[in-house]
Homo-oligomer: A and B are copies of this chain.
């Protein structure tokens, strides 16, 4: 039974949810079809909408309603049992309300306008390989972001305040500990790979026309379970997934005609995000719980489809014959085994989104270290390209040939998304930990993938993860599914096993 207060909070929440989706329409258009000169006013539109959303979520009426209902525990840490639906909703609204109240509407609007313009300049700066073009924008965005951290407050580290937006209840110090364990586990594998014979991936760098890549990508999306009557696939500079409505979740990709991996794995990755957003249960449809519980959990879904499934041997057992028919010249004489090894080739590389599963997390660790330094002020924006190149060389043993392939490669900082990168690595860890349980629940999973049948996998992910939206915290969900909190061991075990086989370590 709903009390009148909860009912009213639900109505108010739905209005906010609708406005968030409205802002998403503006964002999607901005990155896909908006004409060049549309940026300036679009920034004002997004800023106005973000301001209105902020005003609505911080409304005195919500304060009053929240204080009328039973006291809600703010920090659920250590509470591994799942809350009742109403409690989950109240806890979520409580968090959103109190977090937003710490920020001024002025800051929210300024940040929205600066980042909308910043993203447009980033696109241009990346195209022209000119960091200086972007630098003043990033400086203004960083300044506002540091103000934001101060307004939000923190106990240990200013970065905690930012991280908490994307990965609620997690602290910088925890990320540091987890990242150390991951790095310690990965470095010996990378070294071992470096000492064995490298796999041949030359067939991936032949000519793959965009149209055929797109047709193949769309086929895979449909097979996996992406419903085009509830979504779209378009092209953008940086691939993304965005929710414009409960039945309108769109993904984008980009095509590289000279490298096969770029589009297909990017497309499957975004589809993983899309399936999560399309999978919320009817009970939370249209309300504020219809959202990912954390970006780490969100990323666990994209990485599950991209890597645990999409880069698996059974997956290409099913798709390789089809692919060879589509690109006979490129793949003539290439065995399925050779292709499988090629798409999993482990090697230091410049671009994060195209990195293999082993080195990928190092790209994240690099960004995490740089952005915490930016936030504390120990690194200045003007010194960022140099710091990037030095650290890259130190971690990967290679140097970016250009800022476009280095410090300018990701959209995130231009969009004000500091505190976001660590969630990519957490997603890899959560994904492996969940998939370990899925394997036990569906013993024939590999056979199903081998026959192109993904429906039981999707159902499992839906019922265990997607349905709940943000009713549970990441930690509650992880405990509920796996019986323990986040544990990097599952990811490291998976990596060790998979790449020992590929590289015969």
Q: A residues bordering B, Cβ < 8 Å?
A: 15, 18-19, 21-22, 25-26, 28-29, 33-38, 40-42, 44-45, 48-49, 52, 227-232, 234, 244-248, 250, 286
Contacts and interface: CB of A to CB of B under 8 A. Distances in A.
A228 B41 contact: no
Contact of A49 (B22, B36, B38): B22
What is the oligomeric copy number? 2
B25 A41 contact: no
B41 A245 contact: yes
Contact of A35 (B22, B25, B40, B248): B248
A38 B286 contact: no
Nearest to A229: B36
Contact of A230 (B38, B228, B245): B38
A37 B247 contact: yes
Contacts of A246: 41
A232 B41 contact: no
A40 B248 CA distance: 10
A243 to B, nearest CB: 10
A45 B21 contact: yes
Given A25-B26, A232-B35, A48 B18 contact: yes
Main secondary structure of the interface of A (DSSP, over half): helix
B230 A15 contact: no
B33 A21 contact: no
A45 to B, nearest CB: 5
Contacts of A45: 18, 21-22, 25, 245
A231 B35 contact: yes
Given A15-B48, A33-B232, A48-B18, A247 B40 contact: yes
A37 B228 CA distance: 9
A25 B24 CA distance: 11
A35 B286 contact: no
A241 B394 CA distance: 54
Contacts of A29: 25, 28-29, 244
A21 B43 CA distance: 12
A26 B22 contact: yes
Contacts of A22: 22, 26, 45, 48-49
Contact of A38 (B26, B44, B245): B245
Contacts of A26: 22, 25
B25 A247 contact: no
B232 A42 contact: no
Nearest to A19: B48
A21 B26 CA distance: 10
Nearest to A30: B25
A88 B193 CA distance: 75
Nearest to A245: B41
A49 B23 CA distance: 11
A232 B232 CA distance: 19
A246 B36 CA distance: 12
Contacts of A42: 245, 248
A117 to B, nearest CB: 13
A245 B229 CA distance: 28
A293 to B, nearest CB: 21
Nearest to A48: B18
A48 B28 CA distance: 19
Nearest to A40: B247
Contacts of A248: 34-35, 37-38, 41-42
B35 A247 contact: yes
A38 to B, nearest CB: 4
A480 to B, nearest CB: 29
